[in-house]
Amino acid sequence: MSVIPALRVSGLRKVYANGVEALRGIDLDVAEGDFFALLGPNGAGKSTLIGIVSSLVNASAGQVEVFGVDIARHREQAMRLIGLVPQEINFNLFEKPLDILVNYAGFYGVPRDEAVRRAHEELERAQLAGKARMMSRTLSGGMKRRLMIARALMTRPKLLILDEPTAGVDIEIRRGMWKLMREINAAGTTVILTTHYLEEAEDLCRHIAIIDRGRIVQHSTMKALLATLDVEAFVFDIDGVLPASLPMLDGVCLTARDPHTLDVEMPRAMDLNGVFAALAAQGIRVRSMRNRTNRLEELFVRLTGKEAA
Ligand code: ADP
Ligand code: MG
């Protein structure tokens, strides 16, 4: 059975007029029903990618299909399948939530009666029912964000894309939004979320792609990615020469880099002394050791903001 992905991106490139190469050949598949995280530091190209997928930005090269619909050839049809929640609040603060939702749906050709019905439904889901006729300006930050999600859902999109929906909002608001996003996904909508919070992606998403400087540097399940993060890598300098066959140690991967140097990968939780002892039992004495930096982890340090960019 051939399954049409919710999103298929191939060979996507974007060079802005000022010469910035924002995307350098992106290939990406997102399955229908998935909760997908696109994780990357500022300037990685997340918004550019989302802008192209939602037809707001023109690609320089490559192809995008939304549920099999080519966005270049059938722009309107593709746009109808997508709901976009942009990073910045972009509704009129002097309109009421109900009107914002109804007018938005009207713009997409939803008849007024149906739009009003949907608006009440979405306001309910976003826990904004009591605010339907208040001036939007008076909503709290979290409510404004939920209103943006409600608006995106007015066209009943099959794919909801959220561009850093929780950037800079406090943890309580984030939790509320996570709950809402989970419910939307559970109801059958495919969700793509960009974020630079690792823990957010970890909490919500089944699949993840990491984007850095316009390239996908990792694309896997969240589970597999987390497994790679639990590994610590060292380089051991050995006294003398390594034997031809290295000892077998449960959970530890030993590789001779050269006759005097051993590459060691082991679970972070494991005690190094046990490894030293097992090596010593085979006559291998470790003279000195250093941490081998894990590229992926370096990336994460940057992503999670623990190091200045
Ligand atoms: P992210 O959303 O991951 O922070 P962006 O897609 O916004 O990244 O930006 C990727 C790169 O493209 C950055 O170097 C940014 O400065 C540049 N860029 C983004 N938008 C424009 C634009 N409209 N014109 C020129 N350069 C842009
Ligand atoms: Mg962005």
Tell how far the Cα of 89 is from the centroid of ligand 1, in angstroms.
Answer: 18
Q: What is the pLDDT of residues 158-211, one digit of tens each?
A: 999 999 988 778 888 888 888 999 999 999 999 999 987 777 888 888 999 989
* Ligand with smallest separation from the Cα of 26: 1
All structural domains of the chain, each given as residue ranges with its CATH number in brackets, are: 1-81+158-166+188-228 (3.40.50.300), 89-156 (no CATH), 230-304 (3.30.70)
Q: Is the pLDDT of residue 107 over 80?
A: yes
Q: Is ligand 1 within 6 A of the CB of residue 51?
A: no
Mean pLDDT of the chain: 89
Q: What is the pLDDT of residue 56?
A: 93
Q: Is the pLDDT of residue 306 over 50?
A: no
Closest residue to atom 16 of ligand 1, CA basis: 43
How would residue 302 be classed by pLDDT, with cut points 50, 70 and 90?
low
User: In this model, does residue 304 exceed pLDDT 60?
Assistant: no
The ligand whose atoms approach the alpha carbon of 46 most closely is: 1
**Confidence (pTM):** 0.79
40 pocket-lining for ligand 1 (C-beta < 6 Å): yes
Task: Give the Å distances, CA to CA, from 198 to 40, 77, 84, 111.
Answer: 9, 33, 21, 41
Any atom of ligand 1 within 6 Å of the Cβ of 45 = yes
Residue % of the chain over a pLDDT of 70? 93
Mutate to test the pocket of ligand 1, among 26, 48, 192 (most ligand atoms within 8 A of CB): 48
